Amino acid sequence: MAGIDLRNKLEDGGIVYGTMLSLSRNPRWARAIGQLNFDYVIIDNEHSAYSRGEVADFISAINTTGTTTIIRVPIPSSHYVTMALDAGAHGVLVPYCETVEEVKEVVAAARWRPLKGSLVDRVIETGEFPSEKSKAYLERRNLNTVVMIGIESVPAAENLEEILEVGGIDAIFVGPNDMSITMGIPDQYDHPDFEEMLRFVIGTSAARNIPVAVHLQSVELSTKWIREGVRFVLHKTDVGALHEGFQRDFNQLRQVGDEISGQTTEKAKKSDVVI
């Protein structure tokens, strides 16, 4: 699935499914990822220690599987947006945007690269291009680009309607950990205020046919919010899925072994990795 296919599916009201990669590095992981039939994967370049070269190699490998590649860039900066797209990614997730000005900068970089400076500012503000030929060229060049904007704080949510007016946004991303911290209720994802916040973001975005991704770590929570309108399903991370699978299997195996041996072995702990 190329970026334009993902965008078309979402614009038609469809649901897409994917995960975030924060630990996988070797491009040989691409085969396993491809066999999972994800619509997309997000490679985390905000909290994970990927180098620029590693990101480019990983993108190249995953692109061969027909999976849309999206890079979570470190900060809301046009420089990082264009680096990710120049490396071959189909899209960018721009984290922790709070202002219209930040969103205009990153949307301009994603939608109209390589146009820069005052000329791209003019495109965003007035819709005026250097020429109709330049407009058509840039539209073709950036046809596959997926733009996700991170709404991860109370100030961002307060500015959401104005942010959506910028245009050129394909999806809104909510980071539950960051959002709940700014609300004063860290990781309380069943708190009524947190649920109200998610419903506000989902409803406000849906009014413009813009889907929302909420990065959740349990099937129960992901299921709940799909039923409540999430169409950009972002479930777990590679490290979370790996840890949970081994934890479940080996705790069962240790229980059997303890029954046979009469010993008590220490069980695997829940992952404390926060992405």
Domain span holding position 105: 3-238
Asked whether residue 228 is assigned to any structural domain, the reply reads: yes
Average pLDDT over residues 18-34: 92
Asked whether residue 141 is assigned to any structural domain, the reply reads: yes
Asked whether residue 262 is assigned to any structural domain, the reply reads: no
* Residues 164-203 pLDDT 10s: 999 999 999 999 999 999 999 999 999 999 999 999 999 9
Asked whether residue 156 is assigned to any structural domain, the reply reads: yes
* Residues 109-160 pLDDT 10s: 999 999 999 999 999 999 999 999 999 999 999 999 999 999 999 999 999 9
* Residues 30-83 pLDDT 10s: 999 999 999 999 999 999 989 999 999 999 999 999 999 999 999 999 999 999
Asked whether residue 51 is assigned to any structural domain, the reply reads: yes
DSSP string, the chain: --HHHHHHHHHTT--EEEEEESS--STTHHHHHHHTT-SEEEEE-SSS---HHHHHHHHHHHHTTT-EEEEE-SSS-HHHHHHHHHTT-SEEEE----SHHHHHHHHHHHHHTT--HHHHHHHHHH---S-HHHHHHHHHHTTT-EEEEE--SHHHHHTHHHHHTT----EEEE-HHHHHHHTT-TT-TT-HHHHHHHHHHHHHHHTTT--EEEEE-SHHHHHHHHHTT--EEEEEEHHHHHHHHHHHHHHHHHHHHHHHH---PPPPPPP----
**pLDDT-based confidence at residue 275 (cuts at 50, 70, 90):** low
Q: What is the CATH number of the domain that holds 31?
A: 3.20.20.60
Asked whether residue 271 is assigned to any structural domain, the reply reads: no
Number of structural domains, the chain? 1
Asked whether residue 32 is assigned to any structural domain, the reply reads: yes
Torsion, Cα of 146, 149, 152, 158 (10° steps): -150
